[in-house]
Amino acid sequence: MKKYIFSDLDKSLIFSSRSIPDKVKSSSICCFSRGCDNSRGLWVPKPYLDMINSLDGEIVIVTAREKKDVDKLELPFNYSYLICNFGAEVYGNDRRLNTLFNNEDAVLMSDFIALLSENNLSKPLKYNLVNDLPAVAHYVFSTESEAKEEFERIKGGTSALKDRLSYQINGRHFDIFPRNCGKEKSVEWLIKNFFQAPAFYFGVGDSIIDHEFLKLCDIAITPTNSQLFNNIGEN
């Protein structure tokens, strides 16, 4: 039976080098460093890599990152498919296979940007782009409390669009993007159009928003102390 591993990246499979406990640093693998500053690199704990390899299946990355931000990672494994921008795009063999981000979504993000300006709200650190258009507003703050406070302000100031936007917060980061572009929707599309039964699906994710695509898998894995782990039973 064919096996597929759908895995989120950040805080699921790769971690900031600053967040890895000393006891596991010696068994970690560097997958990306910023210039010569190894303290700012990203790491894969070796036991995680061993687990992925032991499953002996095709890997599908399911991430909030843009494709270019995945391409720059020196990942210690090969993957067959990439779902990026919170599900907005699907790639296989470096070729885009599908996009959920449509003209209505482009107008929606334009309206969101206008509301930020009209209501004097914080601009994102960056916009992830699809077809050179803003598709995901990505915010990063110094502390979790600062991120939460600003997250609530922006939700309130853009409430006119709340039924069509997804608001995702996880620690010091939060993202806002069209609800039409969900990770689970692209996972469903990929399964329907490229994978043949019988197949067995493993899922790895850390955030509450990952729960939807993990439900499509036969087995779901989340790290202890992840956002999803700490909210099990809450929803």
Name residue 82's beta-bridge partners: 61, 91
Range of the domain at 71: 2-99+182-230
Hey, how many other C-beta atoms are within 10 angstroms of the C-beta on 134? 18
- The total number of structural domains in the chain stands at 2
pLDDT for res 40: 65
Mean local confidence (pLDDT), 121-132: 97
62 and 50 fall within a common domain:
yes
49 and 165 fall within a common domain:
no
Whole-number Cα distances in Å, 35 to 39, 101, 127, 191: 10, 33, 23, 38
Residue 97 has pLDDT above 90, yes or no: yes
Q: Which of 157, 178, 199 is the last residue of a domain?
A: 178
Residue 42 pLDDT grade (very low, low, confident, very high; cuts 50, 70, 90): confident
Residue 143 has pLDDT above 70, yes or no: yes
| Residues 6 or more apart in contact with residue 34 via CB below 8 angstroms | 40, 41
pLDDT for res 33: 65
- Residue 32 gets the label, from left (phi > 0), alpha (psi -120 to 50) or beta, of beta
Mean local confidence (pLDDT), 201-222: 96
Q: Percentages helix, strand, coil for the chain, rounded to the nearest 5? A: 35, 35, 30
pLDDT for res 37: 59
Round the average pLDDT of the chain to a whole number and report it: 92
In angstroms, rounded to a whole number, what is the distance separating the alpha carbons of residues 212 and 85? 16
pLDDT for res 22: 72
Determine, yes or no, domain membership for 235: no
Return the amino acid letter for 110.
Answer: S
pLDDT for res 43: 85
Residue 36 has pLDDT above 60, yes or no: no
120 and 187 fall within a common domain:
no
Mean local confidence (pLDDT), 84-103: 97
